Chains A and B, each alone.
Chain A
Amino acid sequence: MNDSSSTLDSADAPEVASNEPIISIDNLSFSYDLGSTNTLRDISLEIPAGKVTAFIGPSGCGKSTLLRCLNRMNDLVDTAKVTGGSISILGQDINAPDVEAIELRKHVGMVFQKYNPFPKSIYENVAYGLRVQGIKNKSVLDQAVEESLQKSALWDEVKDRLDSSALGLSGGQQQRLCIARAIAVKPQIVLMDEPCSALDPIATARIEELIAELQEDFTIVIVTHNMQQATRVSNRTAFFYLGELIEYDDTSKIFGNPTRKQTEDYVSGRFG
């Protein structure tokens, strides 16, 4: 029992002291077209461990792009390129030549805007990440699946039908399954790209509750269009506009007493 749980813990990853940032972004510039135009410009921010950090801003401001830089999902775009600055996660520059995106993604999980479970069974969906890492031991998989589903508040709803198709679940359940799938590989950081934008208010509320619970075990970075959601779930908020970081502070400060006028205009609904 102890043995199997320790295999799942990311024992190989360095521990981070709670006051140190888990992610530090330093003067990052990023381009989708090999540097002709920069989608992100000179972004610097530090994301604390064990907290929920929200990225807000109008469409096209670069918040999702920044999120996808954090697990190098932008590698999938042939012409994407970091044109300046760096991102360090757990103290390591993630764009260094000896960093492999595949290894990075084991530590930085991601939940997508549109829930996208595989057309497999519920069990196989959650076990997927462990299987691609070569874990075949049934009891390890069973335990990880149960643990992840419990953490994502889905266990009680699906424990009797783990072998039925994930596509039979409701939208909110499918998104929670995707969260379970992401946390099954025990990442330190979970990125969420507008996880509730395809869900109704009740399903959204459940995901938000879940985010609050997951905060104990994971550092969460969430991109959201919904400003109320940012105030409800996050400790820190970064406001982006046209590829630049305008303001980054405690959520209460951003929404209560922002320093910059642009931030105030946006959070008070005058534009965006």
Chain B
Amino acid sequence: MPEETPSTNPFQATSSKRKVKDRIGTVIFACFTYFVLACALFIFGKITYDGAPVLFTSEAPFINTKFFTESPQTLVEFTNGAGELIRMDQTDFTVFKEENPDVTINDEHTFSYSGGGIAGPLVGTALLVLVCMVVSLFIGVAAAIYLSEYAKKGKLVSAIRLAIMNLAGVPSIVYGLFGFAFFCLAPWFPVFTYEVNAETTIGAFKIPLTDGYLSFQGWGNSLLAGGLTLAVMALPVIIAACEESLKAVPGGFREASLALGATRWQCIRTAVLPYAAPGILTASVLGVTRVAGETAPIMFTAAVADKAKMPWQDAQGSGVFWFSDMLTQSVQALPYHIYTVSARLPAHEAINDMRYGSVFVFLILVVGFAMTSVVLRARYRNKLKW
């Protein structure tokens, strides 16, 4: 008769020392992972907690529309005769004083850019992103097509790839300075203008039948210079993403197309690009979203803290002059606005609404764009199976 036979079990649990070590290892790795999660949660939580009340109101329409329709202006804080602390925008304050000439105003303080809303910065960032997107998509797709479809593999192409990769590692402030020198100051970019900047221009040509000039005076601190600086910065990411999307198109399509007598360009246009396009687009949105959040590249090239009108309202002339003037307007931009209210103003409770409100809106925008492109990419990947 067999006894109790634990000894015959070849898989019998042994020394627990190894298991303890295994357990400790697991816990340590898990801790680091959760640390990252905790950081992310803290950022989102804190900003939502402090920022959401600025955006949402308890009464209909439940959204603080003023925050989206007005541009930043000076905030005034004072205590009235009854000792109540009151804050209002500069324009409202002027009206208030006119209507109540007798009111007691004590402890009057002003805070620049902390009142009003963020319409100007929102519009500015949207325009910068638009310019950046158009330019970087165009150049990026062209470069990626050349690199992955046309260029012969060799030292030159490897060198180009290396250079592009290094471009991705250049600090954003360096891009800012580059953009400032190359696009803003350098006297080689043409503008249509009524006023020639005599200091920088190397040539200005009177355009017949108008009062304007085609002047090579550089673009100055402008939408165009900022958008292009951002585009240069987004290029490495976009080129890499495009190349990846092009490579993901099966080689069989190219072979089949070429074997039917297609030229290289016909092959790319009809048998490669259509199937790479969704990937290129979503990856590019992701790349542009990243650079759209940068402050350093635009602080010398495009952004100003204070600007009363939208670029199209400030632009002079009509037709091509108007368009040129609009593109060479300086703009407000959301990241720069956040930098201004957070870093260049003293810490004060009165500014907190503007700070957290702006950051919250910015975070929603960037996360929204990133998520949309990731979801779109996943959807296209599932759809296009070959």
Number of interface residues of B (CB under 8 A): 23
Name the residue in B154, B259, B263, B270 with the highest tally of chain A Cβ atoms < 10 Å from its Cβ.
B259
Mark B residues whose CB is within 8 Å of A: 152-154, 250, 252-263, 266, 270-271, 275, 384-386
Question: Closest residue of chain B to A124, judged by CB?
Answer: B270
Residues of A within 8 A of B266 (CB): 132
Per-position 1/0 for A56-84, Cβ under 8 A of B = 00000000000000010100101000000
Which residues of A lie under 8 Å from residue B263 when comparing CB positions? Answer: 102, 132
Using an 8 Å CB-CB cutoff, how does the interface string of A116-133 with B read, 1 for contact, 0 for none? 111100000000110111
Q: How far is the CA of A59 from the CA of B284 in the complex (A)?
A: 42
Contacts of B154 in A (CB 8 A): 78
CA distance A128 to B262 in the complex (A): 9
Question: Does B260 contact A112, Cβ atoms closer than 8 Å?
Answer: no
Residues of A contacting B252 with CB < 8 Å? 112, 114, 116
Chain B residues lying within 8 Å of A73, measured Cβ to Cβ, are: 255, 258-259
User: A71 — nearest CB in chain B belongs to which residue?
Assistant: B259
Closest Cβ of chain A to B263, distance in Å, is 6
> Can you name 30 A-B pairs with beta carbons within 8 Å?
A71-B259, A73-B255, A73-B258, A76-B254, A76-B255, A76-B258, A78-B152, A102-B261, A105-B258, A105-B260, A105-B261, A106-B261, A110-B255, A112-B252, A112-B256, A112-B259, A116-B250, A118-B253, A118-B271, A119-B275, A119-B384, A119-B386, A128-B257, A128-B270, A129-B262, A132-B263, A132-B266, A167-B386, A182-B259, A185-B260
Residues on the B chain within 8 Å of A109, using CB: 259-260
Find the A residue at minimum CB distance from B271: A118
Contact B153 A78 (CB under 8 A): yes
* A181 within 8 Å of B (CB atoms): yes
Q: Tell me how far the C-beta of B289 lies from the nearest C-beta in chain A, rounded to whole angstroms.
A: 28
Name the B residues within 8 Å of A114 (CB-CB).
Answer: 252
- Residue among B254, B260, B262 making CB contact with A182, cutoff 8 Å: B260
- Beyond A119-B386, A167-B385, 9 extra complex contacts between A and B, CB < 8 Å: A103-B261, A105-B259, A106-B261, A116-B253, A117-B256, A128-B260, A129-B262, A132-B270, A185-B260
Task: Determine if A129 and B386 form an interchain contact, defined as CB atoms under 8 angstroms apart.
Answer: no
What is the bound-complex CA distance between A114 and B250, given in angstroms?
A: 11
Beyond A78-B152, A119-B384, whether A132 also contacts B250 by CB under 8 A is no
Which listed residue (B152, B255, B271, B384) contacts A112, Cβ 8 A?
B255
Kindly provide the distance from the CB of B235 to the nearest chain A CB, expressed in whole angstroms.
26
Q: Does A178 contact B (CB under 8 A)?
A: yes
A residues near B271, Cβ cutoff 8 Å = 118
A131 to B263, CA, bound (A): 12
**Distance in angstroms between the alpha carbons of A76 and B152 in the assembled complex:** 10
Set A106, A119, A132: member contacting B257, Cβ < 8 A: A132
- By a CB distance below 8 angstroms, the chain A residues around B261 are 102-103, 105-106, 129, 132-133, 185
Nearest CB in chain B to that of A184: its residue:
B260
The interface residues of chain B lying within 8 Å CB-to-CB of A103 are 261
Q: Are B255 and A102 in contact (CB under 8 A)?
A: no
**A78 to nearest B CB, angstroms?**
5
B386 nearest CB neighbor, chain A only: A119
Residues of A within 8 A of B260 (CB): 105-106, 109, 128-129, 132, 181-182, 185
Given A116-B250, A118-B271, A102-B386 contact (CB < 8 Å): no
